[in-house]
Amino acid sequence: MSRGRLDIVPAVSDKHSQHKSRYTVDRQIPGAFEGETVTRRRFMTGTTHAAGAIAAASFALPALGFAIGPIFKEAPHTWESAGPTDMFPDNNYIPTVITLTPGIGEAGKGTVYVRQRNPAIDTDKADRDTLYIAITSRCAHLGCPVRWVDAAERFICPCHGGVYDLLGRRVGGPPVRPLDRFYTRVVGGMVQIGPRYSVNSELERFSPRDPGEPIDGLGQYMYPSRPSARKL
């Protein structure tokens, strides 16, 4: 025997070197029948698993669709008349009740604060292409109703102390962004209120977000807009 390293080469079994037959009889499976390729036990096991998966899907898929369906449902876009153009001054807000969500009666109504655009104070990019400013009464913190206080020139939320200035920007309290706004237009001497949109701290327009969702910096990516968020 040589003192060098002894390389041991394992013997290759003829059984593994040959191609395995697809028939159960050739593979010597107990209870096999001539000509079958799948044993009855494996067939019944697979059938049972498939039936169980179908049964589970019949319960899970409808529940899943019910849960996430509203996310992809596009809310209707409607325009509501708020009043004649001479009804709204440029230095004060006039509360107007309009239908925000049609089809659900009084529950779909809400208050919108409207005033004429004032070039001296409405210098932001979002306000340059509109004649009237319409601000929501829903707080950007948790959705509580805010109230415009003329003497203080502030929007104030009585729930958690949210405070906004004349332009709807947050100046105090826990809200994460300014008050949302609405698109406006003038048709036949009437000011009409359209879809809602959100604004960041610079009053730049974004697709509507739900209360509590910041849109400054990374917030606009962490809280993407959903079609159902257009409903108020």
30 CB neighbour count, 10 Å cutoff: 7
DSSP state of 126: G
Residue ending a domain, among 72, 88, 103, is 72
1 domain-assigned: no
Same domain, 201 and 104: yes
The predicted model gives 133-148 an average pLDDT of 93
Residue ending a domain, among 53, 72, 91, is 72
Q: How many domains does the chain have?
A: 2
Domain that holds residue 26: 15-72
The predicted model gives 108-117 an average pLDDT of 91
Evaluate if residue 19 carries a pLDDT over 70: no
Same domain, 63 and 91: no
Evaluate if residue 181 carries a pLDDT over 60: yes
Evaluate if residue 212 carries a pLDDT over 80: yes
User: What is the pTM (predicted TM-score) of this model?
Assistant: 0.65
Same domain, 117 and 218: yes
Closest of 41, 152, 137 to residue 95, by C-alpha: 137
48 domain-assigned: yes
Residue pair 121/167 in contact by the 8 Å Cβ criterion: yes
